[in-house]
Amino acid sequence: MRDRIEKALEKIRPMLQADGGNVELIEVSDDGVVRLKLTGSCGCCPMSQMTLKNGIERILKEEVPEVKEVVSI
């Protein structure tokens, strides 16, 4: 599952990088919780939680149905 999540994140990264940010995969738990770290501009952006939930989480769930939740650390 981790490999499929990484491939999905590769599709997302260009959008984040265009705004000076990025995302790093930290952990994938057995129960489908994905822990990510938003870096660069995304790490301190006030809209980062919306990006995480409405963007990254939505896309990851579409690409990898086993993903139950995405959380930022």
Q: Which domain holds residue 66?
A: 2-72
| The total number of structural domains that make up the chain | 1
Rounded to two decimals, the pTM is 0.90
pLDDT band at residue 44 using 50, 70 and 90 as cut-offs: confident
What pLDDT is recorded for position 69?
A: 97
- CATH code (residue 33): 3.30.300.130
Taking only the tens place, the pLDDT of each residue in 47-71 is 899 999 999 999 999 999 999 999 9
* Contact criterion met (CB below 8 Å) for 9 and 70: no
Taking only the tens place, the pLDDT of each residue in 4-40 is 999 999 999 999 999 999 999 999 999 999 999 999 9
DSSP assignments along the chain, one per residue: -HHHHHHHHHHHHHHHHHTTEEEEEEEE-TTSEEEEEEEEHHHH-TTHHHIIIIIIIHHHHHH-TT--EEEE-
What pLDDT is recorded for position 43?
A: 86
